[in-house]
A = this chain, B = another copy of it.
């Protein structure tokens, strides 16, 4: 627990959040922080991550704690450090001291929580130890894979209303996460020319994040095989001619995330085919960001990206036909199979623990269209929302070698022309974009996207 993280402004922020909650629900609610899990034996633990809903209202990553929220009041439940704990872990703040740090209205030991559950809503925490506790206390199955019901659902919706748009305190954290992420990407670019394997670039980037006392907000992707979308291996050699796809984000100590991707040539020079496709992806990226504005439907940004990509691929002779028609039949999804992005906040896919409840406006459900099924966000944009914009182009073998897809799209793909782009396995360009009342602000704008600027950063190695 670091006292320097807390201040009267944190206390004010937390008070405002629970007061806003009180305008949305008229029943109490209890949120657990969660507990850490052993790595291979009990005294060697995995890194601890407090539940994001807890962090939103309690501010600090407390372990094995809970807060009860009612009518704008916050009660903290946690046990004091055990006697003897100070020998190994030093003096830790007491429950009362922590209650003061976060402006709690009362503080009680965990054992008293069972007197306070009646009529309260809750949300399941991810770790089994904690949702077992929750289930016992509420005498019903509170499981993370269950969709919440009744007042739990009402509470979840109220939290979503609050967390969908970010207050100033959150924005300060999110900007910091963005800045450190930009610095990490620059360090990765500078380290690439002298690196032999992907792991070395990852290491140079995570060094920056760790040096700021932060953690990665998700498992880094640093790969010359960008066509593998969730690639968490780092053993491949970097070879001249390779593109390196780098999707790495920092998370602040209070849990606020960034999520940024750049793709660049290992040698510092794009081949002409790589540059051509890069510029198609960049055009989609820029077009979407330019359109980010309150009231705009996020799905329309996705479709815009699809159209810009389809149009670019038509210009390059890879697709044949009219861009709008191609998007209509999901031909873009052969090369851009995922969504244009997602919500960003305390989670890198913000509130995805609640399934599509946060990502999809009430009454909307996921499409089963090949070109829309992976869209994680489908809402009109509001000021204060933070979203990613992350178009991409990939030659995914599981898609392009699929006989059904090949036959369906036989006449719209020029396979021979495509084969000339074999050195473009995967490209993604991703930034974090805040919706403002007047339009948008790219929190990660300090990291260039223009092909020549990216080349410059790679060439001027550390």
- List chain A positions with a Cβ less than 8 A from chain B: 2, 4, 37-47, 49, 51-52, 84, 86-91, 126-129, 132, 144-145, 197, 199-200, 202-204, 206-213, 217-219, 225, 227-231, 233-235, 337, 346-349, 351-353, 396-399
Contacts and interface: CB of A to CB of B under 8 A. Distances in A.
Contacts of A230: 88-89
A206 B38 CA distance: 21
A90 B225 contact: yes
A213 B234 contact: yes
Given A37-B127, A41-B353, 14 more contacts: A4-B235, A37-B128, A41-B352, A43-B349, A44-B348, A44-B349, A47-B219, A86-B397, A87-B398, A89-B229, A91-B398, A127-B128, A203-B206, A206-B207
B228 A89 contact: yes
Contacts of A86: 397-398
Nearest to A126: B38
B197 A202 contact: no
A148 to B, nearest CB: 14
Contacts of A42: 126, 144-145, 352-353
Contacts of A43: 349, 352
Copy total for this chain: 2
Given A90-B231, A234-B213, A347 B199 contact: no
A48 to B, nearest CB: 9
A47 B44 contact: no
Contacts of A204: 207, 211
Contacts of A352: 41-44
A121 B88 CA distance: 36
Given A203-B207, A203-B210, A235-B213, A126 B37 contact: yes
11 contacts: A37-B127, A37-B128, A40-B51, A40-B353, A41-B353, A42-B352, A42-B353, A87-B337, A90-B231, A199-B213, A206-B206
Given A90-B228, A231-B90, A399-B87, A347 B45 contact: no
Most chain B CB neighbours (cut-off 10 Å) among A44, A145, A346: A44
Most chain B CB neighbours (cut-off 10 Å) among A200, A208, A399: A200
A346 B45 CA distance: 15
Contacts of A209: 203
A396 B348 CA distance: 40
Nearest to A204: B207
B206 A210 contact: yes
Nearest to A399: B87
Nearest to A236: B2
Given A44-B348, A203-B210, A212-B199, A39 B235 contact: no
Nearest to A45: B219
Contacts of A41: 126, 347, 349, 351-353
A31 B313 CA distance: 51
B44 A347 contact: yes
A351 to B, nearest CB: 8
B347 A88 contact: no
Contacts of A233: 2
A46 B46 contact: yes
A199 B180 CA distance: 14
A393 B21 CA distance: 51
A397 B90 CA distance: 8
Given A87-B398, A228-B90, A218 B44 contact: yes
Contacts of A51: 40
B2 A229 contact: no
A39 B44 contact: no
Contact of A37 (B46, B89, B132, B208): B46
Contacts of A219: 44-45, 47
A35 B342 CA distance: 27
Contact of A397 (B49, B91, B202, B397): B91
Contacts of A47: 46-47, 219
A230 B84 CA distance: 13
Nearest to A36: B46
